[in-house]
Amino acid sequence: MPATGYSLPDILRHEPGLISEDFEEGPPRSMPGAAAPPSLILQLGSWEGPLDLLLTLARSQKVDLAQISILDLVEQYLDFIRDARALSLELAADYLVMAAWLAYLKSALLLPPEPDMEPDAQEMALKLQFQLQRLDAMRDAGQKLLARPQLGWDNFRRAAPEGLSTDIQSRYECSLFDMFSAYGGIQARAQHGVHVVRRRPVMALDEAIERLARLLGQTLDWAELARYLPHDLADEGYARSVLASSFVATLELVRTGRAEVSQGAAFSPILIRGRA
């Protein structure tokens, strides 16, 4: 029993010289036998692999591929390989693998069928014949395709068509509400701007210093800063300005040595007295 348990497609697809070029879509295929270095590959005539050679030999039988004798074909192939070796031609490994497989097929076909043999020899032969027919059909189809009128040779399209395009016309979306709220936004901004810009009644710092210094000169006792502020100021904004300016005035008087300031704790009343 030969050791060739490979199914036919595995053998046919195997090409040692291209083994490094694996396909993106599949894992590397397992290789029967040792990898032959690429230098061993020999293009036998113009055959593209053993199946091509088989097909050429089959066609030499000058019968329909459907009627071909697989046994005769096997003999032809094995003879061919023998002749090639006699001529010391180096054969690519896959031609030899095919030869081994065909020798196995031949013996399987000639011996009484073994019931538990997998795969069945008849089936293998059938598959080989199918593959030969299919390859032949594809070759034939390729030639028929090439015989058809071809664009750019038999007929032509326009060389420089203008092309089509689509003009985009913008339509703007804006609702009445969008517009009103935008205008409202402008008005609100403008009103806010008035708060910032309009000149308000303020007590200037110079005025506060002068006033505080005058009041302090009359007493040397500690007193709350608030007591020195004018009372009953109707304008709250002005009152705040007076408070702020008077506080800064206090600091200025302390800095120049004309007053002392004291605060017991954060946020507790600020006490102030004049220095003689």
Partner 1 sequence: MTDSAPEALRALEAVIFAAEAPLGLADLARHVGERGDLPELLRQLASSYAPRGIILVERGGRWSFQTAPDLAHHLRPTREAVRKLSRAAVETLSVIAYHEPVTRPEIEEIRGVAASPGTLDVLMEAGWVRPAGRRETPGRPLQYATTPGFLAHFNLTTRRDLPGLADLKAAGLLDREPPRELPLPLGGREE
Listing from the earlier edge strand, what are the strands of the sheet with 259-263? Answer: 223-224, 270-274, 259-263
Could you say whether residue 186 binds partner 1 (CB under 8 A)? Answer: yes
Q: Would you give the binding string for partner 1 spanning residues 218-237, x where CB under 8 A is met?
A: ------xxx--x--------
CB closer to partner 1, 40 vs 138: 138
* Smallest separation (angstroms) from partner 1 to the CB of 204: 18
Tell which one of 3, 87, 168, 197 touches partner 1 (CB under 8 A): 168
Could you say whether residue 143 binds partner 1 (CB under 8 A)? Answer: yes
Residues facing 263 on adjacent strands = 270
Q: Evaluate whether 247 touches 270 at the Cβ level (below 8 Å).
A: yes
Could you say whether residue 276 binds partner 1 (CB under 8 A)? Answer: no
What is the token pair recorded at 248?
A: 């800064």
CB closer to partner 1, 266 vs 276: 266
Tell which one of 163, 234, 255, 264 touches partner 1 (CB under 8 A): 163
Of 121, 123, 128, give the one whose Cα is nearest residue 107.
121
Residues facing 272 on adjacent strands = 223, 261
Q: Interface with partner 1 by CB under 8 A: which range of 12-20, 37-45, 82-90, 214-222?
A: 12-20
Could you say whether residue 57 binds partner 1 (CB under 8 A)? Answer: no
Residue 155 CB-density burial (10 A; 0-12 exposed, 13-18 middle, 19+ buried): exposed
Touching partner 1, residues 102-131 (CB under 8 A): 109-110, 122, 125-127, 129-131
The contacts of residue 224 (CB under 8 Å, 6+ apart) are 269, 270, 271, 272
